[in-house]
Structure 1
Amino acid sequence: MTTFFDALETRAPETREHALMLALPHQIANAKKNTPAFAKLFKDVDASSITSRDALATLPVTRKNDLHDLQKVGQPKDVFGGFSALLRGPNMPRLFSSPGPIYEPEGTAKDYWRAGRAMYAAGFRAGDLAHNSFSYHMTPGAFIMESGLHAVGCTVFPAGIGQTEQQLEAIAALRPDGYAGTPSFLRILVEKAE
């Protein structure tokens, strides 16, 4: 029997497209209202008119290098360069730094990164133990995987990277149902285990 993560996954393409385009004007209006950077970037955009992919393609784009520069200008007061509606405190449990550096907030919504559907598609199920070898150091990768695994109902062993021998001991003792991490680190684990 085929199962799915949720009903959104099985929608007809035209139903999904309609829902996305219906939500788009609200998302643009929300970004303009709640973030200084999008208010400036979209100052000449009528949010209610952005109801198709063609209209979406007309919006100005911020490149990663530009985002880095905008974030740098706002420091230390606003490390997000005006692109985040989240404020530090209870609604932002974590703040990450990705290469660039680019600073990224994490909110409190369940499965904030929306990785649950991907973890389900990868074969994880409620009650599984996942060995998460993405880095928990500064970057969001491990937390993206962990939130998705929790959304599916998994327990997560937060292994991170490095400490290969200890990880192999944990794998032998815990017998996880699956692995989340980079293929290159999995290869290191496999080669060390042999």
Structure 2
Amino acid sequence: MTFWNEELETMPADKLKEMQFRLLQNEIKTMYGKSAFFRKRMDSVGLKPEDITDMEQFRKIPCMKKTDLRDNYPDGLFVVPYDDLVRVHVSSGTTGKPTVAGYTQKDIDNWTESLARGMTSFGAGKKDVMQNMHGYGLFTGGLGVHYAGERIGATVIPTGVGNTDRQIQLMQDLPVTFLAGTPSYMFHIADVCDQKGIDIRRDTKVRKALCGGEPWSESMRKKLYDRTGIKAYSCYGASEFYGPMFLECSEQAGMHVWADLALVEILDKDGNPVPDGEQGEVVVTMLQKEAFPLIRYKIGDISSITWEKCKCGRTHPRLGRITGRADDMIVVRGINVFPSQVESVIGEMPFLAPFYHITLTNPNYMDKMVVDVEILPECLPDMTDQLDRMTQQVVDRMKEILNLKVVVKINLPNTLERCDGKSKHVTDNRSWD
């Protein structure tokens, strides 16, 4: 068994929890002094940093939510000047406003360290040639995985997302052993290889993959392996943390949450902690974050966590597979989408009524998002080409706001379903079985 930092990764759980709580106390003290936002949060419940002497006191701190990031857009939560930042990433937000995450050099180093430990835990290393098919740019996946691949000594090919024919050519022509990308793109690669008569087992050296950014199931993982011989490992994260951070090891029994970098709580609907191994909402506290506070952050995912020692020998807690959401966010091709974003686009269009419906499917595991909208009676066009221009206007604006290409269908007036109570705007017909 190979470790990146064996002493730390196999530290006895009681010692690990002691270290974790010391780091927590230090982070709270630091952010209370630097962050007006966090100081106001603690003051609102009568807490000072010295009051946080156990987890019961810690849980009195109000949780952060995505709305806090939106309300402080773009950089109201930053606690260091831009002179001390080395990078800024931007991801989709709840109402068209993106989430902006700043990083100090230490933040980047900790992010890279986290992924380096995770990659090492499933056997990646210096002998690997990694083709990184995550997007490079404002989203966090591409650069995070790239830096970690270099850190473990792998050779990194920064192909980015798309250009599938070129991706497959490089997989054949170069000694690529390791892919990184979304699960759906792995299946797309497999589909195109089948069409071209390319056998990934026979014609490439690819045998493992790091997959994340969107939901997928165990049966999906098995199908990928049966088709391609690629053993895929899950990862979990968000730009609010650092980016993708927590990976499965060779045992594939949950994603290791490095206890020196993050504290994860699992809470029930009333905000109380659930027993080890039971499902609840994921709440994350970053323990060494410098650029802005992330303390008791409700990310909205549903999962479980266990401190049971992993068969790989690592003692850090393991986060189970994400099984759902506590809010209305959906993930489409690795991108966070909120119905309120779609609503905001519709509100900008003077020819549309305020009714819509989103339908999600995933033929061959590639997500497809269809948005049905409704035209106002007084705006019915006389010519088909006018309707086409209206449709394209909505498609283009959706892409600007969502960073995602969707199919838009403009329906006749009074044809979309109305609801007496809370509208159901999303039908998710995707299957990962």
**TM value normalised by structure 1:** 0.85
Counterpart for residue 111 of structure 1: 109
Q: Is the 8 A contact 1:134 1:181 kept in 2?
A: yes
Matches within 5 A, 1:1-194: 2-6=1-5, 7-43=7-43, 44-71=46-73, 79-82=74-77, 84-89=78-83, 91-100=84-93, 101-109=98-106, 111-113=109-111, 114-194=114-194
Per-residue CA distance 1:109-161 (angstroms, 9 max, x = gap): 36332222211123211242211111113111112222322332222211111
Counterpart for residue 74 of structure 1: none
Provide the rounded CA distance (Å) in 1 between the counterparts of 2:52 and 2:87: 32
The count of residues paired between Structure 1 and Structure 2 equals 184
Q: Is the 8 A contact 1:136 1:160 kept in 2?
A: yes
Report the Cα offset of residue 26 of structure 1: 0.9
**TM value normalised by structure 2:** 0.40
Provide the rounded CA distance (Å) in 1 between the counterparts of 2:147 and 2:56: 33
Name whichever structure is richer in helix by fraction: 1
Report the Cα offset of residue 172 of structure 1: 1.4
Over 3 Å counting, the alpha-carbon distance change for 1:59 and 1:122 in structure 2 is same
Over 3 Å counting, the alpha-carbon distance change for 1:50 and 1:150 in structure 2 is farther
Q: Is the 8 A contact 2:86 2:105 kept in 1?
A: yes
Q: Which runs of 5+ in 2 are unaligned?
A: 195-433
Moved more, 147-156 or 97-106: 147-156
Provide the rounded CA distance (Å) in 1 between the counterparts of 2:110 and 2:160: 20
Provide the rounded CA distance (Å) in 2 between the counterparts of 1:147 and 1:35: 29
Report the Cα offset of residue 86 of structure 1: 3.5
Question: Which is higher, the Rg of structure 1 or of structure 2?
Answer: 2
Q: Is the 8 A contact 1:111 1:150 kept in 2?
A: no
SS in 2 for 1:55: helix
Provide the rounded CA distance (Å) in 1 between the counterparts of 2:21 and 2:121: 25
Amino acid at match of 1:61: C
Across the aligned residues of Structure 1 and Structure 2, the Cα RMSD in angstroms comes to 1.9
SS in 2 for 1:95: strand
Q: Is the 8 A contact 1:86 1:105 kept in 2?
A: no
SS in 2 for 1:111: helix
Name whichever structure is richer in strand by fraction: 2
Provide the rounded CA distance (Å) in 2 between the counterparts of 1:38 and 1:188: 44
Provide the rounded CA distance (Å) in 2 between the counterparts of 1:92 and 1:176: 34
Provide the rounded CA distance (Å) in 1 between the counterparts of 2:110 and 2:19: 20
SS in 2 for 1:156: strand
Report the Cα offset of residue 29 of structure 1: 1.0
Provide the rounded CA distance (Å) in 2 between the counterparts of 1:48 and 1:185: 48
Q: Is the 8 A contact 1:129 1:155 kept in 2?
A: yes
Q: Is the 8 A contact 1:111 1:147 kept in 2?
A: no
Counterpart for residue 76 of structure 1: none
Q: Is the 8 A contact 1:95 1:104 kept in 2?
A: yes
Per-residue CA distance 1:27-76 (angstroms, 9 max, x = gap): 111112222322322334321332433222221111102321222xxxxx
Over 3 Å counting, the alpha-carbon distance change for 1:111 and 1:155 in structure 2 is farther
Over 3 Å counting, the alpha-carbon distance change for 1:33 and 1:134 in structure 2 is same
Report the Cα offset of residue 3 of structure 1: 2.2
